[in-house]
Each structure stands twice: as C-alpha cells, then as structure tokens.
Structure 1
C-alpha cells in the first residue's frame, strides 16, 4: 500500500475541475497493474482467493482484445472496438434508462450513478453494482445494464477472460424531461 501512495503522491498537480464556474471534485479510478518479480505465471498473478484459473480478470483499459458487440466486429483495431462498444453501451443506456424516475422521486439537479459490472468469459454481463443518490436510481441502473445484449468476450493472450467495466451515468433533472449523459 505504501508503494501505491508513493506513486500517487509523485503524480503532477492537476487543475481543479469546474462546473458552472465552480470548483468540483472529480473522482478518477486508475488501475495499477504489476508483475511479481520472478513469476511469469499469468494464472498465479490473476487468481482470485478461490484459486480458480477461470476467474482471471483483466481491466478494460489494458485488455489485449476488448469485449465487443457484434455491431462493432468490423472495427479495424482494438481501440476502435473499444470506442464502438462504449458508444453502443451509452446509446443503450440513453434509450432504456427511465430518467423520469428522478422527477417522480422529487430529485433535482445533476444526478450521478456509478455502475460497475463484469463482462464474463462467455460475453454475458454479471456482478452489476451501482451507487446513486437514491436506491431507486441504483435499481434502475442495474435493470438497464442487466439487459445489455451478450458480447464477444474479451481475450488476453488468446484466452477469454472476465473484464470489469465501469460506467458513470450522469443526467440533469429539469422540469422538462431530462436527458442522460454518458
């Protein structure tokens, strides 16, 4: 843990985030991957506590072959497939998320829902979790993400792996119908 703190403290200073001319805090998640010296075994490095090789997880940011929807298979590069898949997820959420729920709950202003899920070795979405200002928004996010179509699984070194994915859902609650921003 001390090494993680050392690396974070060594990062350069950043300008504060701004929204409507006010300073805002911006959360950022940074995956830190490393290899244990002298150990070349991928399975030993990536096993979960139960010791099963099929639990290997590779972050979306560094996966060799990103998971993708069939509509993205014609993309030429891994980066293009990632961009296409992210766009498809965003469009799916925009189309299926009930933003009127926030009005019904009496919520006002910008709403942020953080969603984390896994794309399994079979391309099926699993382990969906969400955090929001209201439990009903969390449930709605889980419902929508649970309806995502099956994907082609991500691959690392030619083998299908589990890929964690993080998705912020942001939308402004107005008197008129709000729009979702991804």
Structure 2
C-alpha cells in the first residue's frame, strides 16, 4: 500500500514567511529594549519648620543728661594795629616792543653791496645708468661705455681679491647673498656704506670689502663732479 501525504499537513511550506515574521518581531523587541529609558525616582522629603511664637519684649529707653560744652574763652587784644601810608614812589619798568610797525621810521638802509650771499654747493647724486661720465677706477680710460665696462670689471676683480669668508659664519654654516650700497662722492671717495643680508657677520665682511676700494676720479654730469650711488651683491656660499 502506497502512503500519500496530505499537502495541508506540510509544515515547512511557509517556513520562510514564519522566519521573516519572527525576525521582525525580534528586531522590534530589541529596538524597544534599547530605546527604553528608566529614571530614578528620588524621594522628596518635605520638612515643615515650626516656628514658635515670638514675644515682643519692651526695652526701656534710658535718657542720659549730658552737660553743654563750656563757652569759648574771650580773646583779648593787647597790641594796637596802626596803618602807615606808603611814602616811597615805585618806578614802573616799561618793556618796549621790538616789533616794527608801519609808523616806525627805519634810520639805516642796508645797500645791496653790503649783503653777502654764501654759495651753497648742492651734493647732486646721479645714478650709474644715467651719469654722463662714470667714476674712473685707477687705470681705466676711454669713452663712457668703456669706463662703465672697466668699472664693473675692476669691481669684480676687487671683490675676488679681498673676499674672505668669516670663520664664525663658516662654523655656524651661515650662507646667503649680501647687498652692499655705497656712494662715490664728488671727491672720488667711497662713503655711506650700508649692507643688507641674512646675518650680521656677512654684512660686516661685505662692508669691509667695499671700504677697501681705492679713491677714484669722481663722476661728472655736465662737466661738473657729482656723487654716484652704487650697489653690488656679494654671494657668500660654502663649498660642499
């Protein structure tokens, strides 16, 4: 005899549906359990302060009889004051004004020949690029273009000849470029030496090199000696 299974008795036919419903129910219960909040209840005790009846006590007022202060003593004038009139006359000092008004008369008139005018020579500074004749290094000759080329060549030779790296700067590994500014005045001397660099040691050495420049023939503008400002960079670099 062959056994036949009733399809209604198949328990596993809706297992996936039951699993999904059960999973959702568990998730809901888990969410509610996590979100549930509890608060501690504090017991509040209310104390009643009982105040006894206060009795007003009458304090007797006492009066103290203070005698009045004695009257001030009478002042007695023993000397008589006499008034004496001034008989000496005081001379007043009159300060005269030194300003001259329109009504004042000028007695002495200075002539034009008596006025001495001092001539003030202006110290004109002309840049290197605009000067008609640049300052001449000893040994430089030729046109202004040749003098400029010789000036720059002599300047580079002077820097290389007198260059000396400061020992303190070398020990501290101080390097950089120093810009030196100076003025070749109308007498040919190098003045007003200033420098700007990364360290004071390098600036001092750069100013020393420029101070050793020789006296030159001053530059000229319109056949007149003039001062010329100039700047030169000096690069201090340690060889690795």
Runs of 5+ unmatched residues, structure 1:
1-51, 176-182
1:13-162 alignment, distance < 5 Å: 53-73=121-141, 76-101=142-167, 102-108=169-175, 111-162=176-227
4+ aligned runs moved over 6 Å, structure 1? none
Measure the CA separation in 1 of the matches of 2:177 and 2:123: 30
**Residue 167 (structure 1) aligned with residue 232 (structure 2):** yes
Residues 166 and 202 in structure 2, CA contact (< 8 A), matched pair in contact too: no
SS, match of residue 53 in structure 1: coil
SS, match of residue 158 in structure 2: helix
Q: Which has the larger radius of gyration?
A: 2
TM-score by length of 1: 0.62
Superposition deviation, residue 172 in structure 1: 2.5
Measure the CA separation in 2 of the matches of 1:138 and 1:93: 14
How many residue pairs were aligned?
A: 121
Runs of 5+ unmatched residues, structure 2:
1-119
Residues 54 and 161 in structure 1, CA contact (< 8 A), matched pair in contact too: no
Measure the CA separation in 1 of the matches of 2:126 and 2:233: 19
TM-score by length of 2: 0.48
